[in-house]
Chain A
Amino acid sequence: MSEVAVAEVVKEPLFSKKNRALISNPLDDDNPITVQVLGICSALAITVQVKQALVMTLSVMFVTAAGNVIVSAMRNYIPNRIRIIVQLVIVAALVILVDQVLKAFVYDISKALSVFVGLIITNCIIMGRLEAFALANKPWPAFLDGIGNGLGYGVILITVSVFRELLGSGKLWGFPVFGHKVGALLSDGTLATEASGLYALGYVDNGLMILPPMALITVGALIWIQRSRNTKLIEG
């Protein structure tokens, strides 16, 4: 066996500058969605409502963090030739666990997310982080990296979902912010017979915002804003 050279590592504080960067980098400079352009499919699918985006973010964060820690802890024992399959099995097992636990303890949330929890398995961010980071680093930095990338994913997801829910259905977190449309359910359990708020002035929800193409356009706009602000990201 090739002897793994273990360099004597200087004891590093848990939140050293390098470790903090593991969390902060994915939020901006190395964002998984807007910079690495990974995990786009789920960003299009579940950003219609803020609530779903948040639960999805938490689930993905758990899977990236736990997956990173497990793979990192096993990194010296995983045979190189089957490492992708090993990672996939670990991710799949974690996702199934998340799904089962959600179903048992927070049934209504698991229903709202339906198939998308299962689809976390196919989220490129997770495999990408396992392959690029966890296999080469210790469990603690790998954990931070997982949390950071989960956050970076979540920030974009939630930003997009805020725009989509607000402009698409006139709500935020299910709460009507622009007033009521005709036929909307009021808090006293009756249906609104006339529009109130902005709708009374003739405002109409933008149905396009609800459809997936608009999510792509919103992500595109976010990328544009991010790059015009952060010139480091502009290539060549």
Chain B
Amino acid sequence: MAVDVNSNKYTFIFAAVMVIIVATLLALASESLKPMQNENVANEKRQNILSSIGISVPASEAKEAYEKYLVEAVVLDANGAVKQTELNAFDIDVLKDYKAGLSNIYKANSGDVDAMKAELLKFGTDGVNYPMFVLNKDGQDVYVVPVVGTGLWGPIWGYVTVAGDGKTVVGAVFDHKSETPGLGAEIGQASFQKPFEGKTIFDENGSFTGIKVMKGGAKGDEHGVDAISGGTITSNGVSEMLLRTLKIYEPYFLGLHSAAEPEMVELPVDSLGMSMDSLNVEVGDSLELSVN
């Protein structure tokens, strides 16, 4: 049967049938691949969390390894206090919360740039959940903090791990959606992330400093790392992200400082004696010394 392929009727029917077929096909593909894609995303999250404490595992073993190292996953509120909640910390989408928070600020202060800037500075104080993962690294608890921020072309995010003393950074990983390859995208590279190890987020007086990404080089600054040349806006984004997010966790980490101190003061008598022996001092002398 001959059909006129250029008639209006045929054109309409062709278009409709084609669109329905294509839509069905894509919907089927998307639905059937969804579980695998979600699992990939979850495994990547686990890999990132693990790699921020210096453990790299292939994606296929990420789930098992994550469960092995995980001590607990907690949710903090905006004041840095542990929240009693039914929420699973792992399922909290910090990026989504961040975006929602940003758009709320923009909406609430549209037209008023100064007010918007002021709001942005004290960002994320209301009702947002701040997850934290406590992992076991070499027998010690370390604290993995998810961070999110804004790069040049899109969101950037990562995990910063703080040691049990609440000050020292054990490791950091970063990732991005669409930073420029070779420039801003270098934040995803080990050469950018490695220098974070051993930096501290508090100065010796115990006041919060965070970690800055410094243009022109950190030159041994213990609260700073080198920025990426050519990736200034991304570097600044990382800096802002770290300061803002770690600030929220500050009270929690301060709590760790004071929790750590009594242990140092109240040394068991045995170990005191031992250290006295090893130092070759009279017990009486050292007691006087400690009184002074």
| Residues of A in contact with B (beta carbons under 8 Å apart) | 1, 3, 46, 48-49, 52, 76-82, 85-86, 89-90, 93, 96-97, 100-101, 103-105, 107-108, 114-115, 168-169, 183-185, 191, 207, 210-211
Is B269 interfacial (CB-CB < 8 Å)? no
Q: Is there an interface contact between B191 and A184, defined as CB atoms closer than 8 Å? A: yes
B33 and A85 form a contact (CB under 8 A): no
**Which of A77, A93, A104 is the one whose CB lies under 8 Å from B40?**
A104
B-side residues, CB < 8 A to A, are 2-6, 10-11, 14-15, 18-19, 22, 25-26, 29-30, 33, 36-37, 40-41, 44, 59, 177-178, 181-183, 189-191, 194-195, 226, 229-230
Please report the C-alpha to C-alpha distance between residue A77 and residue B194 in the assembled complex, in whole angstroms.
Answer: 59
Given contacts A185-B191, A191-B195, contact A82 B181 (CB under 8 A): no
Across the interface, B181 reaches (CB within 8 A) one of A48, A76, A79, A90, namely A48
Task: State whether A183 and B22 are in contact (beta carbons under 8 Å apart), knowing that A100-B33, A104-B37 are contacts in the complex.
Answer: no
Contact (Cβ within 8 A) A207 B14: no
Contacts of B195 in A (CB 8 A): 183, 191
- Within the complex, which residue of A90, A107, A207 is in contact with B230, where a contact is CB–CB below 8 Å? A207
**B10, A79: Cβ atoms closer than 8 Å:** yes
Neighbour of B191 across the interface among A107, A108, A191, CB < 8 A: A191
Find out whether the CB atom of A114 lies under 8 angstroms from the CB atom of B22: no
**Contact across chains for A76 and B37 when beta carbons are under 8 A apart:** no
User: What residues of chain A lie closer than 8 Å to B191, measured between beta carbons?
Assistant: 183-185, 191
A183 touches B229 (CB 8 A): no
If over half of B's interface residues share one DSSP class (helix, strand or loop), that class is named, otherwise mixed; here it is helix
Q: Name the A residues within 8 Å of B26 (CB-CB).
A: 93, 96-97
- What CA separation (Å) do A48 and B181 show in the bound complex? 7
- CB pair A104–B33 under 8 Å, yes or no, is yes
Assess the B18–A86 pair: CB atoms within 8 A. yes
Docked complex Cα distance between A6 and B36 (Å): 47
CB distance from A207 to the nearest CB of B (A): 6
Bound-state CA distance A16–B10 (Å) is 37
Contact of A79 with B6 in the complex, beta carbons under 8 Å: yes
Q: Is the CB of A100 within 8 A of B29?
A: yes
Q: Which residue of A lies closest to B19 (CB)?
A: A89
A101-B33, A183-B191 given; A210·B230 CB < 8 A: yes
Distance of A233 Cα from B164 Cα, bound (Å)? 68
Q: When the two chains form their complex, are residues B14 and A78 in contact, meaning their CB atoms are under 8 A apart?
A: yes
Task: State which of B5, B18, B59, B177 has its C-beta within 8 Å of the C-beta of A89.
Answer: B18
Distance between B230 CB and nearest chain A CB, rounded to angstroms: 6
Leading 3 A-B pairs by shortest Cβ distance: A210-B182, A107-B40, A1-B2
Residues in B neighbouring A183, C-beta threshold 8 A? 191, 195, 226
Report B-chain residues with C-beta under 8 Å of the C-beta of A77.
Answer: 5, 14
Q: How far is the CB of B197 from chain A (nearest CB, A)?
A: 9
A80 adjacent to B6 (CB under 8 Å): yes
- Given contacts A1-B2, A191-B191, A210-B183, whether A107 and B44 have CB atoms under 8 Å apart is yes
Contact B5 A80 (CB under 8 A): yes
B5 contacts A1, C-beta separation under 8 Å: yes
A-B contact pairs, 10 of them (CB 8 A): A3-B2, A78-B14, A89-B19, A93-B26, A104-B36, A107-B41, A107-B59, A168-B182, A185-B189, A207-B229
Which of chain B's residues has its CB closest to A207's CB?
Answer: B230
Contact B30 A100 (CB under 8 A): yes
Complex alpha-carbon distance, A160 and B226, angstroms = 30
Residue of A nearest to B1 (CB): A1
> For residue B189, which residues in chain A have a CB less than 8 angstroms away from its CB?
185
Name the residue on B nearest A45 (C-beta): B181
CB A67 to nearest CB in B, in angstroms, measures 13
> Which chain B residues lie closer than 8 Å to A93 at the CB level?
22, 25-26
Name the CB-closest residue of A to B5: A79
**Nearest residue in A to B30 (C-beta to C-beta)?**
A100
